[in-house]
């Protein structure tokens, strides 16, 4: 068998892209002992897995990946139950709800965060902005008290640690389970209160949503809110940091985007292709599945390498190059920055929050450019990416001249 780098090794964590290329080329389907899963890395194979209509490939893996920390979320549902749940939650994240109710929330929170460092001439994009904005936005959309945002951030950190706990550290597992209990203790009374006194917030919308006579229970709403911390928080956080890091590493493209903010959507689309926040997604095979690299047996865990698929040369011209002008990604359709790469997955579980994420990253970037038109990294500073399941820059300590 072809020698394949271990996806859990430090070398892989430091730079997975050479290993991705080797896998796509020589080992498009491999058995990985440590995660006890079959790994697929080619665009066509990852696409096939995502597009399966859950007859052969299910999300049963989330029962052990998500259930202990979130409870039963939309990602664990399938078939009609999943379709109804999507119809219940998705409308709030697109169209008029997004534009009229939630875009102002994003703008307000992005501006407040930028205000904190606007006059200082220095900020860490990761800690001062990227990790704050998505969670602040979700808490604000849900209509939670501003004084509770810090608790929300604490739970967010614990959920992320739980989901990234590759070594199975028992202290992290225990903290995740504690978070599930604390989150429920906080959220369930708020949910009951909103059912009685609905407002113009996302939580009231979720409580009142009804499709074909079906409504979500308190527990369903709570699990969805908990999922939002991870699904909407860490992902968008990494996307904001990555778009800045990619532009800083390509000064000509940074200058072009600053001169024409209309290029921000193209920079976002290319960032999601080149540096997707989520690098790995798992599925469970209910039946035998043929992929280009061979056959996946029934009853197996399948790991899809989004980070590898998004740089497949059979799909993209010059895939290892970050190029917002590449022209093979659309930026205008409703799901612009989505359908042309796999960062939001595809098929039934395609990201519910894709347009919200796009709005957050684009608004965030506009706010950052307004606050720091000449942003730059300290001399000699080279950003380091970290993470294997999710991935993004560790820190981005930028300098800038405060705007008068
Ligand atoms: C699903 C990525 C932002 C909510 C997904 C999936 C991916 C993804 C890959 C599919 C998971 C799977 O099939 O197993 C991203 C990225 C984001 C982002 C890269 C940011 C750039 C958001 C935001 C929200 C969100 C802001 C907030 C609403 C969800 C939900 C699902 C999902 C609820 C589950 C959908 C379902 O099961 O039908 N996301 N996401 N995501 N995402 Fe996102």
User: For residue range 218-230, what is the model confidence (pLDDT) as tens digits?
Assistant: 999 999 999 998 8
Q: What is the CA radius of gyration of the chain?
A: 21
* Domain annotation covers residue 3: no
Ligand 1 mutation target, pool 51, 351, 362, most atoms within 8 A of CB: 351
> C-alpha angle 181/187/190, rounded to 5°?
150
State which ligand 1 atom lies nearest to the alpha carbon of 276.
19
**CA 163 – CA 179 distance, rounded (Å):** 12
Q: Is 392 in the pocket of ligand 1 (CB under 6 A)?
A: no
* Domain annotation covers residue 2: no
Protein residue with its CA nearest to atom 4 in ligand 1: 353
Protein residue with its CA nearest to atom 42 in ligand 1: 351
* Domain annotation covers residue 269: yes
Q: Is 310 in the pocket of ligand 1 (CB under 6 A)?
A: no
pLDDT at 337: 42
Tokens describing residue 246: 């990619």
CATH number of residue 135's parent domain: 1.10.630.10
Q: Is 338 in the pocket of ligand 1 (CB under 6 A)?
A: no
pLDDT at 300: 96
* Domain annotation covers residue 140: yes
* Domain annotation covers residue 145: yes
pLDDT at 8: 84
* Domain annotation covers residue 222: yes
* Domain annotation covers residue 128: yes
pLDDT at 228: 94
Give the count of domains, the chain.
1
Tokens describing residue 375: 């942003």
Parent domain of 99: 10-371+383-399
What is the 209 CA–ligand 1 centroid distance (Å)? 20
Give pairs for 102-107: CB < 8 Å, separation 24+.
Answer: 102/137, 102/141, 102/202, 102/356, 102/359, 103/359, 103/363, 105/137, 105/140, 105/141, 106/133, 106/137, 106/359, 106/360, 106/363, 106/364, 107/363, 107/367
Tokens describing residue 216: 């979500």
**CA 361 – CA 368 distance, rounded (Å):** 10
Residues of the chain where predicted confidence (pLDDT) is lower than 70: 1-3, 330-339
């Amino acid at each position: 068998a072809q020698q394949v780098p271990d996806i859990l090794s430090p070398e892989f964590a430091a730079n997975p892209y050479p290993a991705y290329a080797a896998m796509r080329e020589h080992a498009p389907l491999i058995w990985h002992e440590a995660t006890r899963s079959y790994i697929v890395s080619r665009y066509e194979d990852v696409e096939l897995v995502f597009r399966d209509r859950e007859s052969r490939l299910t999300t049963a893996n989330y029962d052990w990946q998500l259930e202990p920390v979130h409870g039963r979320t939309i990602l664990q549902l399938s078939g009609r139950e999943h379709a109804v749940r999507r119809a219940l939650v998705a409308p709030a994240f697109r169209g008029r709800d997004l534009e009229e109710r939630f875009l102002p929330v994003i703008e307000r929170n992005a501006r407040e965060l930028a205000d904190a460092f606007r006059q200082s001439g220095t900020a860490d994009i990761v800690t001062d902005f990227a990790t704050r904005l998505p969670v602040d936005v979700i808490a604000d959309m849900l209509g939670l008290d501003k004084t509770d945002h810090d608790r929300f951030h604490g739970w967010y950190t614990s959920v992320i640690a739980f989901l990234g706990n590759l070594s199975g550290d028992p202290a992290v597992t225990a903290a995740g389970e504690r978070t599930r209990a604390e989150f429920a203790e906080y959220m369930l009374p708020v949910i009951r209160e909103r059912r009685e006194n609905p407002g113009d917030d996302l939580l009231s919308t979720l409580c009142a949503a009804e499709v074909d006579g079906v409504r979500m229970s308190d527990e369903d709403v709570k699990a969805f809110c908990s999922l939002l911390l991870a699904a909407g928080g860490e992902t968008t956080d990494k996307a904001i940091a990555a778009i800045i890091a990619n532009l800083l590493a390509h000064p000509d493209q940074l200058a072009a985007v600053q001169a024409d903010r209309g290029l921000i959507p193209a920079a976002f689309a290319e960032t999601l292709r080149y540096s997707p926040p989520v690098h790995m997604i798992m599925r469970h095979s209910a039946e035998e599945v043929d992929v280009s690299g061979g056959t996946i047996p029934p009853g197996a865990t399948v790991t899809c390498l989004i980070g590898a698929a998004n740089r497949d040369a059979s799909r993209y011209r010059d895939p290892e190059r970050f190029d917002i002008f590449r022209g093979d990604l659309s930026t205008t359709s409703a799901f612009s920055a989505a359908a042309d790469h796999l960062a939001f997955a595809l098929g039934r579980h395609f990201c519910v929050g894709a347009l919200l994420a796009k709005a957050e990253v684009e608004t965030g970037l506009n706010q950052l450019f307004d606050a720091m038109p000449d942003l730059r990294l300290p001399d000699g500073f080279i950003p380091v990416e970290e993470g294997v399941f999710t991935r993004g820059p560790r820190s981005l300590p930028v300098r800038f001249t405060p705007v008068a």
